[in-house]
């Protein structure tokens, strides 16, 4: 698999993702991965349009793994956009080995006990445990809004916020 970047961002495709990240990592394909999003015909239609010319797939976690392992996927520089930290962990457990993992925007989910750990990242205790599990697989998680920003260690952010 040639997954050059994984971003965990529940806003999915927006200007930062397409204009900045897509260009900075020179991606051949953007894959939005989340089981619920993949079953939504409106998002299946709208998300690729929002990608502004970057070839885009909207897939379940399992289909993302299958695509990345396929002959076509092996030849592409893939940018995976995981909606939730759970999606990212499932991808890693399925054998995906991204070169980099970045925690982007995580808007608060109503009716959850979240804490804003940065101005754009909400975390629950369950999320914090999942981020630690990702790091436990040997990955350094960074928090970085734009590719030109300095990367901050995301586990340090969690510690500072008592997670």
| Residue 114: both structure tokens together | 């979240």
- The tens digit of pLDDT for each residue in 22-44 reads 888 889 999 999 999 999 999 99
**Cβ atoms of 128 and 160 closer than 8 Å:** no
Q: What is the pLDDT of residue 1?
A: 56
Share of the chain above pLDDT 90, in %: 82
Element (H, E) at 103: strand 101-103
Length of the chain: 163
- Measured from the Cβ of residue 63, the count of other Cβ atoms closer than 10 Å reads 15
Vertex 60 angle, CA 4 and 24, to 5°:
25
How do the domains of the chain map onto residue ranges?
Answer: 3-160
> Average pLDDT over the chain, rounded to whole?
93
Specify whether domain 3-160 bears CATH 3.40.35.10: yes
Burial of 119 per CB tally in 10 Å (0-12, 13-18, 19+): exposed
Model confidence at 16: pLDDT above 80: no
- The tens digit of pLDDT for each residue in 52-91 reads 888 999 999 999 999 999 999 999 999 999 999 999 999 9
């Amino acid at each position: 698999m040639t997954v050059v970047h994984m971003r965990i961002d529940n806003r999915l495709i927006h200007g930062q993702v397409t204009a900045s990240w897509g260009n900075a990592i020179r991606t051949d394909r953007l894959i939005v991965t989340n089981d619920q999003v993949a079953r939504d015909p409106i998002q299946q239609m709208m998300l690729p349009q929002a990608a502004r010319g970057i070839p885009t797939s909207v897939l379940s976690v399992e289909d993302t793994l299958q695509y990345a392992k396929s002959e076509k996927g092996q030849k592409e520089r893939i940018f995976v956009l995981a909606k939730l930290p759970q999606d990212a962990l499932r991808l890693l457990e399925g054998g995906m080995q991204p070169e980099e993992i970045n925690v982007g925007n995580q808007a608060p989910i109503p009716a959850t006990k979240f804490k804003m750990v940065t101005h754009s990242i909400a975390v629950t205790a369950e999320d914090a445990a999942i981020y630690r599990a990702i790091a436990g697989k040997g990955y350094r998680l960074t928090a970085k809004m734009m590719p030109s920003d300095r990367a901050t260690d995301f586990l340090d952010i969690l510690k500072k916020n008592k997670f």
